Amino acid sequence: MKRKTVTKILRSTAFACMFCMLCGIIGNESDIRLNASTTQAELEAEIEKNKQEIAKLEDKITATDGEISENEELQGYYYSKLLLQQEGIDLLNNKLYAKEQEIADKEQEIADKEVEIVDTERRIEDKKIEIAGLEKENEENLHQFGQIVRTMYMNDTDDVLTVLAGSTDFYDIFVKTEIMNNVGEQSEQFMNKLLDDIHKLEDDKLQLEADKAQLEQDKKDLENDKADLQAEWTALDEEKAYANQLANQYTAEYNDVTSHISDLESLKDQYNYQIAVSKEEIEAYQKEIDEIIRKAQLAASNTVVYDNGEWRWPLDPKFTLITTYFGYSAFHSGNHGAIDIGNGGINGANIYAMKGGEVIVAKTTYTPGYDYGMYVVIDHGNGFQSLYAHCSAIYVTVGQMVNKGDVIASVGSTGWSTGPHLHFEIRKDGSRVDPLNYVNVP
Ligand SMILES: [Zn+2]
């Protein structure tokens, strides 16, 4: 009894292991978000959705790239503007500095002028004091002269008095009268010299006053010059303030554009990430489809009776121009596991089943520019399948039994195709084999 139980457990373990291996082939269910009852059509629809999503994302990336290069142009524009502004500011700083030097020079000149003015004023004061001294001396002389005159009057010199009566000041008396003739020779000489000295001092004083007036005029001119320089400085400073304002503006614009570019770059990264995710999903779905096809083939091989006869050429005999053979193709950058036929006028031509069998794929939805486009796969039993791609129309449905020579589709250019042609494959036990090993070219 005990032995039997152990055997049962071992058997169920073995069964569980096999089941697990199958899971491994299909892939993790939660990854592809599909359940066991998912049909091939549903999977293909999912793949379509992903492909369309990828196409959309690629468009977005192209648009984003365009936007990035536009922004980079702007960035360069603001940067050159900024450089220009900064050069301008440097120039203005130099000008301002030179202007400040000129102003300082002018101020020095004004200060010198002021010293000269003070000096001249001091000399004027000196002259005034000298003049006052001489005038005082003169007054004393006048007093003495008066006494001389009084003495002369006492001695009865009438005409002297008469003359004096009409005179207002001492100098007048000298000019108007001959009285000096009556004064002693010595006194006359002394008085004359005194007069000359006073006149000379007066002249000096006048000259100094004229000098001072000139100095003050010079100072005023210098101050005007300084005011002009200061006005020029102010204008330069305003210009600099404006240049700084522009520089700040350009800096802000530059920074805006730079951060916009970095936003766009991260958006692009996001798109690329989404594309990678979609591609992974497609791969997972494709694996599942392959598995469904494999299972369909297994099922079909039970019902399809393999025809041991010859394979039929899939087109009318006039279409035999082989544009790509089975094997390596540079254009397909790898193995081209099929034959391409691309005669002129082939578009819309009938495609015939190469042998009888069951239609296991009849795909009418596709993304332009990708893969097989519309295509048909027929299972012929005995591990053989044939595939007909890039069709413009399909006349059979999945599960339908067809005979050799039945029209199953029309030639077209759907999917990844550069012009109307038939791409056909023969598969043996899941691998693509060279069709020319099976079918003769008519
Ligand atoms: Zn091809």
Structure confidence by residue, pLDDT tens digits, 64-98: 999 999 999 999 999 999 999 999 999 999 999 99
- pLDDT above 60: residue 26: no
Same domain, 286 and 139: yes
Query: How remote is the CA of residue 198 from the centroid of ligand 1, in Å?
Result: 131
In a domain, residue 7? The reply is no
Same domain, 290 and 312: no
Same domain, 282 and 316: no
In a domain, residue 157? The reply is yes
Query: How remote is the CA of residue 333 from the centroid of ligand 1, in Å?
Result: 12
Query: How remote is the CA of residue 339 from the centroid of ligand 1, in Å?
Result: 6
Query: How remote is the CA of residue 328 from the centroid of ligand 1, in Å?
Result: 12
> pLDDT at position 29, please?
29
Same domain, 184 and 144: yes
Higher pLDDT, 137 or 227: 227
Find the mean pLDDT for residues 138-166: 63
- pLDDT above 90: residue 390: yes
In a domain, residue 12? The reply is no
Tens of pLDDT, residues 287-341: 888 777 777 777 766 678 888 899 999 999 999 999 999 987 666 656 788 999 9
Query: How remote is the CA of residue 181 from the centroid of ligand 1, in Å?
Result: 151
Query: How remote is the CA of residue 327 from the centroid of ligand 1, in Å?
Result: 11
Find the mean pLDDT for residues 193-211: 87
Query: How remote is the CA of residue 403 from the centroid of ligand 1, in Å?
Result: 24
Query: How remote is the CA of residue 433 from the centroid of ligand 1, in Å?
Result: 13
Query: How remote is the CA of residue 326 from the centroid of ligand 1, in Å?
Result: 9
- Of 303, 329, 350, which closes a domain? 303
In a domain, residue 318? The reply is yes
**pLDDT band per the 50, 70, 90 thresholds, residue 425:** very high
Query: How remote is the CA of residue 329 from the centroid of ligand 1, in Å?
Result: 10
**pLDDT band per the 50, 70, 90 thresholds, residue 367:** confident
Same domain, 400 and 318: yes
> pLDDT at position 181, please?
56
In a domain, residue 324? The reply is yes
- pLDDT above 50: residue 416: yes
In a domain, residue 17? The reply is no
Same domain, 152 and 260: yes
> pLDDT at position 141, please?
73
* Cα–Cα–Cα angle for 329, 333, 338, rounded to 5 degrees: 45
Query: How remote is the CA of residue 373 from the centroid of ligand 1, in Å?
Result: 11
Query: How remote is the CA of residue 336 from the centroid of ligand 1, in Å?
Result: 7
Residue 371 to residue 132: CA distance in whole angstroms: 124
The domain that holds 317 is classified in CATH as 2.70.70.10
In a domain, residue 16? The reply is no
Same domain, 218 and 200: yes
Query: How remote is the CA of residue 418 from the centroid of ligand 1, in Å?
Result: 10
Query: How remote is the CA of residue 211 from the centroid of ligand 1, in Å?
Result: 111
Query: How remote is the CA of residue 298 from the centroid of ligand 1, in Å?
Result: 26
Percent of the chain with pLDDT over 70: 79
**pLDDT band per the 50, 70, 90 thresholds, residue 25:** very low
In a domain, residue 365? The reply is yes
Average model confidence (pLDDT) across the chain = 82
> pLDDT at position 4, please?
35
Same domain, 367 and 226: no
**pLDDT band per the 50, 70, 90 thresholds, residue 273:** very high
Q: Which domain holds residue 188?
A: 39-303
Query: How remote is the CA of residue 208 from the centroid of ligand 1, in Å?
Result: 116
Higher pLDDT, 187 or 184: 187
Query: How remote is the CA of residue 47 from the centroid of ligand 1, in Å?
Result: 21
- pLDDT above 80: residue 347: yes
> pLDDT at position 40, please?
74
Query: How remote is the CA of residue 410 from the centroid of ligand 1, in Å?
Result: 16
**pLDDT band per the 50, 70, 90 thresholds, residue 182:** low
Query: How remote is the CA of residue 363 from the centroid of ligand 1, in Å?
Result: 17
Same domain, 233 and 365: no
Find the mean pLDDT for residues 2-31: 30
Q: How many domains does the chain contain in total?
A: 2
154-163, 225-234, 364-373: least confidently modelled range? 154-163
Query: How remote is the CA of residue 340 from the centroid of ligand 1, in Å?
Result: 5
Same domain, 280 and 310: no
Same domain, 326 and 283: no
**pLDDT band per the 50, 70, 90 thresholds, residue 43:** confident
pTM of the model: 0.47
For residue 149, what are the CA distances in angstroms to 145, 154, 167, 180?
Answer: 6, 8, 14, 10
Ion ligand 1 contact residues with beta carbon within 5 A: 338, 340, 423
Same domain, 93 and 104: yes
Residues with Cβ within 8 Å of 435's Cβ and at least 6 positions away in sequence, in order, are 311, 326, 338, 339, 424, 425, 426
> pLDDT at position 422, please?
97
Find the mean pLDDT for residues 263-271: 94
Percent of the chain with pLDDT over 90: 52
Query: How remote is the CA of residue 28 from the centroid of ligand 1, in Å?
Result: 32
- Of 256, 273, 303, which closes a domain? 303
Find the mean pLDDT for residues 110-117: 92
- Of 254, 282, 303, which closes a domain? 303
Half-sphere exposure for 171 (CA within 13 Å, toward CB): 8
Query: How remote is the CA of residue 337 from the centroid of ligand 1, in Å?
Result: 8
Query: How remote is the CA of residue 441 from the centroid of ligand 1, in Å?
Result: 17
Query: How remote is the CA of residue 389 from the centroid of ligand 1, in Å?
Result: 8
